[in-house]
Amino acid sequence: MQSNEGHHHLSAGNVISFEKLSLLFGGTDDTGVVRGSEMVGDRYRDLLQEIAAITEYQWRSGTTRGLVKGFMLSGPPGTGKTTLAKRLAYELGRRFEAEDEPPVALAFVDGGEISRSRYGESEERIRDIFLHARSGFTAQGQRSVLLFDDVESIFMARGSQHAKEWHFSQDSVFFHSIDDLDTSRATIVLTSNRPDLIDEAIRDRFLSYVVDYPDLETLLQMVQQIPAIGQLTGAQQSTLKTDLIAAVKNGTVRSMRDGQRFAMRHFVAKLLKKESLAQQIAD
């Protein structure tokens, strides 16, 4: 197999191998907690299984111009949209693991990184990403999930007051790239906290899902599985979990990200035996 490594503009950190995804989501960690179990709940699992089933069907059917080009995940910050996309790549990697071809890869494209590129460079980067989705990112014939994170910073709606001429150029390049996507080899996932800012013509090309704040029961399960909690003493764990549960119930903590931030501040306050200055400034 001919390697494509080093011939694409994505850095090594932007192409996540199935091996790395397995370290994130496969098996258990030192505390016995299943990796990736910070995302629990029926809604999350149903979304993952539906998106994986659609993609698997198109990949196995060999249809190069499938009806579904990809998926848009929208919702508040910290609700697991990016994690869901990464787990999709891992799930597809598991389903195709026995195939006689290179392992599935995840190409992570940060919206902010592209939007900061020099004039004309962002369009080149978008073309380059899709070119390597066709041939393979690290090996010839590799299947891939293309994750465009925080896309409201790249593909802005024409009516937006923040849209510039170069946004329209990027949108046009993306339109054509989507239309030419080989859906038997790749799929696209877009994530956004503000889908209303994204060009409608782009939104219409994807199946859209809302990844909202989890329900109370699910959130309680999530925050009690924050990996860092396992690093505390038994008494510290008990106190933190009690405080976390109270914060969830009173609405202070609404997402996993909120829970992680709460745990960090709680730990620092206990360590210093006073309220952290950082916490006071942040609040």
pLDDT at res. 279: 57
Total-model pTM: 0.81
pLDDT value, residue 283: 44
Task: Tell me what pLDDT residue 7 has.
Answer: 42
Residue type for position 282: A
Q: What is the pLDDT of residue 153?
A: 76
Query: Rounded to 5 degrees, what are φ and ψ at 171?
Result: -60, -45
Topology, domain 12-210: Rossmann fold (3.40.50)
**pLDDT of the residue at 282:** 47
| Contact (Cβ atoms closer than 8 angstroms) between residue 93 and residue 104 | yes
What string of H, E and C letters represents the secondary structure of the chain? CCCCCCCCCCCHHHEECHHHHHHHHCCECCCCCECCCCCCCHHHHHHHHHHHHHHHHHHHHCCCCCCCCEEEEECCCCCCHHHHHHHHHHHHHHHCCCCCCCCCEEEEEEHHHHHCCCCCHHHHHHHHHHHHHHHCCCCCCCCEEEEEECHHHCCECCCCCCCCHHHHHHHHHHHHHHHCCCCCCEEEEEEECCHHHECHHHHCCCEEEECCCCCHHHHHHHHCCCHHHHHCCHHHHHHHHHHHHHHHHCCCCCCHHHHHHHHHHHHHHHHHCCCCHHHHHHC
Q: pLDDT digit of tens for each residue in the chain (283 aa)?
A: 444 444 445 554 589 999 999 988 876 555 544 555 445 678 888 999 999 999 999 999 998 999 999 999 999 988 889 999 999 999 999 999 988 889 999 999 887 677 665 667 778 888 888 999 998 998 998 999 999 998 887 775 555 554 455 456 777 788 889 989 999 999 999 999 988 888 888 888 899 999 998 888 888 877 777 766 767 778 888 888 888 889 988 988 888 888 888 888 877 887 787 877 775 554 4
pLDDT in the model for residue 3? 42
